[in-house]
């Protein structure tokens, strides 16, 4: 690995200064689904316009170190003709790219999924690197129910994440590895802790097997939460306790940083939980622990914008406000 120092510097910069990342890498299908729910036409023109709302938010660089893009967005421009990648760089935001190609069934394991996208990964990495993208993301999906996840699901996904991470580093791109234990279901918070611990332990086993440089990698895990159909809602202090215990026991201290996904939590809960983690465990965390949210940073902005030019400023204000809330939560200074 020729560019190890550069990788490590980029990974550090992604989680520096009590700021985090924003995921604006929804696939066409996912963004269209959110548009449909908000009454916005599901066309490329509207998807471009929405991405412009977020990317050109004045002050975005005050709270955001990096933005994860989707392939379609990489080639788009602002209405004034500035490439989105250039607009982000000018705002002090490092541009990155989602590299996984969604999930497919894991044969022989009903309901379980494995992530696609390894086949042509080396070529895609060269293309994106030449376009100026400096980090990437790959998401694995792990479902919980009475008998899931299987060991096969955990091992297959961890191995794919490690193959992807090794390929990224060889191409000079920092990998974000995202093993997402999904909130769907009525499982307890303790069960989420147990499954998250297994997924992370296997992930780091596979990352070490494939000689991935942990100082040049960012982990994007779920917070440890009860299933969304569980009647007991967890207090932020409890979420923080189980999340931190799980991470401390499974994630080596050499990892550059941890940047959570929001996973369907409302913005207030996501910020409240991140705040409790950083406030209650300030002196115990060996890594910066920050945000890499999509919905908890900009779903309200999407709804406010609603596809209308006259709402752009209000939508940007909402995005910035949530950016600030999470920046405060990263410091343990977020007040509800
Ligand atoms: P959410 O924050 O909406 O979970 O999205 C984060 C993400 O990037 C999922 O891959």
139 lines ligand 1 (CB under 6 A): yes
What pLDDT score was predicted for residue 336? 81
Q: Is the distance from the beta carbon of residue 262 to the nearest atom of ligand 1 less than 6 Å? A: yes
pLDDT value for 252:
98
- What distance in Å separates the CA atoms of residue 276 and residue 241, rounded to the nearest whole number? 9
What pLDDT, on the 0 to 100 scale, is given for residue 56? 98
SS3 of 273, please?
helix
Task: Locate 210 and state its tokens.
Answer: 């494939």
List per-residue pLDDT tens for the chain, 336 residues long. 658 999 999 999 999 999 999 999 999 999 999 999 999 999 999 999 999 999 999 999 999 999 999 999 999 999 999 999 999 999 999 999 999 999 999 999 999 999 999 999 999 999 999 999 999 999 999 999 999 999 999 999 999 999 999 999 999 999 999 999 999 999 999 999 999 999 999 999 999 999 999 999 999 999 999 999 999 999 999 999 999 999 999 999 999 999 999 999 999 999 999 999 999 999 999 999 999 999 999 999 999 999 999 999 999 999 999 999 999 999 999 998
Spatial separation of the C-alpha atoms in residues 327 and 291, rounded to whole Å: 8
268 part of the active site: no
Token pair recorded at residue 52: 């412009």
Q: Is the peptide bond prior to 277 cis by the omega test (within 30 degrees of 0)?
A: no
Q: Which two tokens stand for residue 331?
A: 């410091």
Phi, psi of 201 (to 5 degrees): -65, -45
The conformational region for residue 34 under phi > 0 = left, psi -120 to 50 = alpha, else beta, is alpha
What's the gap in Å between 271 CA and the centre of ligand 1?
Answer: 14
What distance separates the 2 farthest-apart alpha carbons in the chain?
Answer: 53
Is residue 218 within 8 Å of residue 255, measured between CB atoms? Answer: yes
| Angle between helical axes of 236-250 and 189-209 (0-180°, round to 10) | 30
Pocket test for ligand 1, best of 294, 295, 299, 329 (most atoms within 8 A of CB): 294
DSSP 8-state code for residue 187:
-
Residue 207: exposure state from Cβ atoms within 10 A (0-12, 13-18, ≥19): buried
Output the pLDDT for position 1.
61
β-pair partners for 69: 24, 97
| The pLDDT of residue 294 | 98
pLDDT of residue 2: 58
Q: C-alpha angle 135/51/309, rounded to 5°?
A: 165
User: 14, 20, 23, 181: which to mutate for ligand 1, most atoms within 8 A of CB?
Assistant: 23
d(CA 289, CA 275): 10
**CA–CA separation, 26 and 69 (whole Å):** 8
* Residue 263, ligand 1, Cβ within 6 A: yes
pTM for the structure as a whole? 0.98
Say how far apart CA 295 and CA 239 lie, in whole Å. Answer: 19
Kindly report the number of other CB atoms within 10 A of residue 16's CB atom.
Answer: 15
What ligand 1 atom has the least distance to the C-alpha of 23? 8
Sign of the alpha-carbon dihedral angle for 24, 25, 27, 28: positive
* Residue 105 φ/ψ region, left for φ over 0, alpha for ψ in the -120 to 50 degree band, beta for the rest: beta
Active site residue 220: yes
Structure-block tokens of residue 211: 């000689």
Angle in degrees, CA 179, 298, 135, rounded to 5: 45
């Amino acid at each position: 690995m020729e560019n190890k120092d550069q990788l490590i510097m980029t990974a550090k910069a992604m989680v520096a200064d009590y700021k985090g990342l924003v995921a604006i890498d929804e696939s066409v299908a996912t963004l269209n689904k959110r548009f449909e729910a908000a009454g916005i036409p599901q066309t490329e023109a509207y998807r471009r316009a929405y991405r412009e709302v977020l990317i050109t938010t004045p002050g975005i660089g005050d709270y955001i170190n990096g933005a994860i893009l989707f392939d379609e967005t990489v080639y788009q421009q602002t209405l004034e003709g500035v490439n989105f990648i250039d607009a982000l760089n000018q705002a002090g935001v490092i541009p990155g790219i989602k590299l996984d190609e969604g999930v497919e069934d894991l044969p022989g394991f009903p309901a379980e999924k494995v992530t696609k996208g390894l086949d042509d990964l080396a070529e895609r990495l060269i293309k994106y690197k030449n376009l100026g993208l400096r980090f990437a993301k790959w998401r694995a999906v792990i479902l919980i129910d009475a008998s899931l996840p299987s060991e096969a699901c955990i091992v297959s996904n961890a191995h794919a994440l490690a193959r992807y991470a090794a390929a990224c580093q060889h191409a000079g791109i920092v990998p974000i590895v995202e093993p997402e234990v999904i909130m769907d279901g009525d499982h307890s918070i303790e069960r989420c802790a147990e499954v998250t611990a297994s997924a992370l332990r296997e992930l780091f086993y596979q990352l070490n097997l494939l000689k991935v440089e942990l100082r040049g990698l960012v982990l994007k895990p779920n917070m440890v939460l009860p299933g969304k159909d569980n009647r007991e809602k967890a207090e932020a202090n409890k979420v923080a306790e189980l999340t931190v215990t799980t991470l401390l026991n499974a994630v080596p201290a050499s990892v550059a940083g941890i940047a959570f996904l929001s996973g369907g939590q409302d913005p207030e809960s996501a910020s409240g939980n991140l705040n409790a983690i950083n406030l209650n465990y300030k002196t115990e965390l060996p890594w910066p622990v920050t945000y890499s949210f999509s919905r908890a940073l900009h779903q309200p902005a999407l709804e406010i914008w609603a596809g209308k030019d006259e709402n752009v400023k209000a939508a940007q204000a909402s995005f910035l406000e949530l950016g600030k809330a999470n920046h405060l939560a990263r410091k343990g200074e977020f007040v509800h």
